[in-house]
């Protein structure tokens, strides 16, 4: 196992009266896992490696203003789409508190966080990935600006990914664009359970601009938090086998991505999605996040693929909505397929046309 980077640093503290006021704005995307992270060890170390596409349009945009605070614990107010949100406030405060050994300066500041998502909150898109990665970017940017460290892009991103992981496991993959691995992976040196690792070379061109149309089957809020789902894997009777299977799927999927083998890509990603939900159904207590229309959409995708031979596939997150994955070249056919066969199964929110993206962006 790669050793854990030691980011504890008591020097990252403002001296005396030299505490700044300022503002930063970052945008960071969500991501969709192809091999799923489901099951973890303390502290937020995955039981198996995972790999995801970073998305382009589905982002959190977060403005963080800071002013000097009275010393002690971090002070923070959180506004989500302009409204004070006490649930996010508590979560973010706890997150910042937990980082006080890594970023001692957070204890010296009062924060006002204003965040919005570019996708409907109720759409069940992994908003913790975008929401936590964006905060990690801001904190590392503050460190870079005020303490002169993290000047090298690689060091900056690695630390941001490490911090994002502490906020939410899958968030560590959103710090990079393209295809991102999290967790030690056979045959890919540099991969780690402590931070994400971007796959920069050798991705076949068909996957470089792969499309993800998120079909919003159900607009309801997520009923079972991921944290609880991960915890249930500790007693799931199939978990050991599942963790081995994920490792095996990583190797097969990464090879398919390098060679442009869409057939294997489809087989592995769809199996991963169904296995994720099978794990939920076989946990105790068991739970079911798919809806009747999730299955309707999946059946339609199978039928469309059978009829046309086009490489359209699906994956699922921890929710009922279906991520439809396909190469950019067949966008027109897929659009027609949605209009003719899928729309009837979607909620009034419809769908979001997303695709592989480039990762976080500094706005201010």
- Determine which residue in the list 30, 130, 168, 236 makes contact with ligand DP6, applying CB under 6 A: 168
Contact between 191 and ligand DP6 per CB under 6 A: no
Q: Could you tell me which stretch among 5-13, 72-80, 156-164, 222-230 binds ligand DP6 (CB under 6 A)?
A: 222-230
How many residues interact with ligand DP6 (rule CB under 6 A)? 17
- Determine which residue in the list 226, 269, 294, 313 makes contact with ligand DP6, applying CB under 6 A: 226
Q: Could you tell me which stretch among 164-172, 263-271, 282-290, 345-353 binds ligand DP6 (CB under 6 A)?
A: 164-172
88-to-12, 79, 117, 223 alpha-carbon distances in Å? 26, 8, 13, 17
> Are 125 and 30 a contacting pair, CB within 8 Å?
yes
- Distance, in Å, from the CA atom of 28 to the CA atom of 124, rounded to the nearest integer, reads 17
Q: Could you tell me which stretch among 1-9, 81-89, 110-118, 226-234 binds ligand DP6 (CB under 6 A)?
A: 226-234
Q: Which residue shows structure tokens 């390098």?
A: 258
Nearest to 181 by CA among 48, 350, 351, 70: 48
For residues 49 and 327, which CB has a smaller minimum distance to ligand DP6 in the complex? 49
For residues 224 and 310, which CB has a smaller minimum distance to ligand DP6 in the complex? 224
180-to-52, 104, 176, 250 alpha-carbon distances in Å? 5, 29, 7, 12
For residues 270 and 317, which CB has a smaller minimum distance to ligand DP6 in the complex? 317
* Residue numbers 271-330 binding ligand DP6 by CB under 6 A: 276, 317-318
Q: Could you tell me which stretch among 29-37, 65-73, 143-151, 232-240 binds ligand DP6 (CB under 6 A)?
A: 29-37
> Are 162 and 5 a contacting pair, CB within 8 Å?
yes
How near is the Cβ of 165 to ligand DP6 at its closest, in Å? Answer: 8
How near is the Cβ of 44 to ligand DP6 at its closest, in Å? Answer: 6
Asked if the bond preceding 334 is cis, omega within 30° of 0, the reply is no
How near is the Cβ of 260 to ligand DP6 at its closest, in Å? Answer: 23
Tokens linked to 250? 């990583």
For residues 24 and 268, which CB has a smaller minimum distance to ligand DP6 in the complex? 268
Torsion, Cα 252 215 196 25, to 10 degrees, reads 160
38-to-17, 86, 229, 248 alpha-carbon distances in Å? 46, 28, 8, 15
Nearest residue to ligand DP6 by CB is: 169
For residues 127 and 262, which CB has a smaller minimum distance to ligand DP6 in the complex? 127
> Are 164 and 171 a contacting pair, CB within 8 Å?
yes
For residues 38 and 111, which CB has a smaller minimum distance to ligand DP6 in the complex? 38
For residues 31 and 108, which CB has a smaller minimum distance to ligand DP6 in the complex? 31
> Are 31 and 126 a contacting pair, CB within 8 Å?
yes
- Determine which residue in the list 48, 118, 128, 239 makes contact with ligand DP6, applying CB under 6 A: 128
Residues paired with residue 180 on neighbouring β-strands, in sequence order:
52, 198
Q: Could you tell me which stretch among 37-45, 58-66, 116-124, 244-252 binds ligand DP6 (CB under 6 A)?
A: 37-45
- Determine which residue in the list 19, 24, 37, 48 makes contact with ligand DP6, applying CB under 6 A: 37
- Determine which residue in the list 44, 157, 174, 185 makes contact with ligand DP6, applying CB under 6 A: 44
Q: Could you tell me which stretch among 166-174, 199-207, 306-314, 349-357 binds ligand DP6 (CB under 6 A)?
A: 166-174
Which long-range contacts does 226-230 make (Cβ < 8 Å, 24+ apart)?
A: 226/128, 226/168, 226/170, 226/318, 229/38, 229/279, 229/280, 229/283, 229/287, 229/318, 230/38, 230/39, 230/40, 230/169
- Determine which residue in the list 92, 170, 213, 313 makes contact with ligand DP6, applying CB under 6 A: 170
Binding site for ligand DP6 (CB under 6 A): 33, 36-38, 44, 50, 126, 128, 168-170, 226-227, 230, 276, 317-318
């Amino acid at each position: 196992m790669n050793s854990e980077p030691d980011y504890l640093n008591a020097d990252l503290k403002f001296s005396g009266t030299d505490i700044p006021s300022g503002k930063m704005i970052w945008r960071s995307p969500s991501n969709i896992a192809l091999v799923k992270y489901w099951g973890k060890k303390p502290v937020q170390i995955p039981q198996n490696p995972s790999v995801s596409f970073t998305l382009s349009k589905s982002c959190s945009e977060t403005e963080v203003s800071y002013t000097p605070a009275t010393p002690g614990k971090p002070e923070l107010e959180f506004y989500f789409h302009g409204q004070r949100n006490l649930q996010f406030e508590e979560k973010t405060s706890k997150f910042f508190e937990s980082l006080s050994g890594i970023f001692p300066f957070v204890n010296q500041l009062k924060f006002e966080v204003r965040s919005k998502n570019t996708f409907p909150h109720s759409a069940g898109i992994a908003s913790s990935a975008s929401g936590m990665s964006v905060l990690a970017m801001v904190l590392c940017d503050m460190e870079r600006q005020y303490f002169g460290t993290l000047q090298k892009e690689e060091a900056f991103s690695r630390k941001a990914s490490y911090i994002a992981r502490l906020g939410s496991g899958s968030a560590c993959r959103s710090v990079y664009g393209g295809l991102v691995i999290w967790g030690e992976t056979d045959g890919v040196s540099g991969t780690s359970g402590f931070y994400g690792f971007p796959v920069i070379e050798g991705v076949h061109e068909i996957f470089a601009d792969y499309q993800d149309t998120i079909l919003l089957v159900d607009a309801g809020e997520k009923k079972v938090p991921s944290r609880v789902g991960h915890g249930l894997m500790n007693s799931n009777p199939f978990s050991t086998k599942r963790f081995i299977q994920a490792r095996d799927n990583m190797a097969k999927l990464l090879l398919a991505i390098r060679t442009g083998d869409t057939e294997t890509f489809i087989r592995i990603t769809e199996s991963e999605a169904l296995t994720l939900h099978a794990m939920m159904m076989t946990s105790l207590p068991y739970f079911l996040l798919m809806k009747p229309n999730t299955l309707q959409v999946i059946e339609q995708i199978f039928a469309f693929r059978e009829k046309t031979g086009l490489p359209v596939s699906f994956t699922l997150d921890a929710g009922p909505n279906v991520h439809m994955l396909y190469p950019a070249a067949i966008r027109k056919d897929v659009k027609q397929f949605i209009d003719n066969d899928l729309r009837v199964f979607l909620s009034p929110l419809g769908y979001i046309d997303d695709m592989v993206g480039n990762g976080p962006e500094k706005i201010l």
